Chain A
């Protein structure tokens, strides 16, 4: 299957296979007015299978969350058919409304309008704690 290359835009590459839709939703790509291609289960020398997302426009997108969702993702910025930038996204310092605090004693369990905010407390161990109750994101 062939998907045309893009002239100007962003290619989110090396997404773990079958995770593209999760990334698509997390980045709210459905709100964009340009073409967005989701390629799932593509063959990859490095990963066996991978997903790719191509965005047909160079837009200012907050990609920080990708560092939390999938640290192996590569971002490619394409300008005039050429890749002008390639990088991995670092772990974001905070994550807003992507994960929910599971602590039943946390104030977020009763105050519905509060954003669920997690702060990076240990970069090496990739640990995030709830801003309010300090519970770990995976506890």
Chain B
């Protein structure tokens, strides 16, 4: 039995296989509409995340399966003091696969050690969110027709942004990748990401505070939100949240085939005037998220 806790749990071949399946689902949805008939997905969301939960639920429904679960800890037995290990053993009696979101880092790993059914990490605090990374990889693969030879700009909160850390980890495994890391000084990429991922793998990168300085070189611009819930101090959040706002002016010198991505939800870091630009891919990215989750559910349930 396999789980997905960290994107590193998957080999490059397995990621390629998931992307291939997702693309096949997009091309032939009818072929997959009963693949998970009579199977149940439990969505255990110990902290709210509406879009991730809906994406998982829609994915299971499109495979012909059923869903059950809860969307916040208050409505689960956690409020009564039950441990993650106990919750997971009980839910395993009622479902075939579990997607789990938890505010504590490492909670899905704890769950996977006790579970009798596959666990998918749907986000654990500021730590991992592997299905977001798979979504990003599918988006890049569809929009750019490749996962190598890319210059990727990452902009915004690079310190707390787990999607950014996971994406760097995942993309560092492909050939000829260059990163442009754009952030205010207070939200720069952590040293350990530079040392243990970028430098260890000899990945070229530059750090800058200016979004326009390298915009013309980028194949991908990945925008992120400054997340209020990651700050202990409200003042710091208010000071940094509007640091970068992407608008038409800022992308005027960008490549014609730039792919602008964002894990969503956005607050105001991308102006709505960019939404109609053909280079804006973030809503397509959300749709691709459902397809890659469908592919993942099939893989973990070992359904061909």
Contacts and interface: CB of A to CB of B under 8 A. Distances in A.
A77 to B, nearest CB: 36
Nearest to B6: A134
Interface string A97-138: 000000101111111011000000110000000111111100
Contacts of B126: 105
Interface in B82-103: 83-85, 102-103
B38 interface: no
B7 to A, nearest CB: 13
A130 B196 contact: no
A134 to B, nearest CB: 7
Given A114-B110, A132-B106, A105 B125 contact: yes
| Main SS at interface, chain A | loop
A100 to B, nearest CB: 14
Given A105-B125, A111-B84, A121 B196 contact: yes
A104 B107 CA distance: 13
Given A105-B126, A121-B196, A110 B109 contact: no
B83 A133 contact: no
A134 B105 CA distance: 9
Contacts of B250: none
A109 B127 CA distance: 15
Contacts of B102: 107
B110 A107 contact: yes
Contacts of A108: 106
A107 B104 contact: yes
B110 A132 contact: yes
Nearest to B108: A107
B191 to A, nearest CB: 10
A103 B105 contact: yes
Given A107-B124, A108-B106, A131-B109, 6 more contacts: A107-B102, A107-B104, A121-B196, A132-B107, A134-B106, A136-B192
Interface of A: 103, 105-111, 113-114, 121-122, 130-136
17 contacts: A103-B105, A105-B105, A105-B125, A105-B126, A106-B106, A107-B84, A107-B109, A107-B110, A109-B104, A111-B85, A111-B110, A113-B85, A121-B196, A131-B109, A133-B105, A134-B106, A136-B192
Interface of B: 83-85, 102-107, 109-110, 124-127, 192, 196
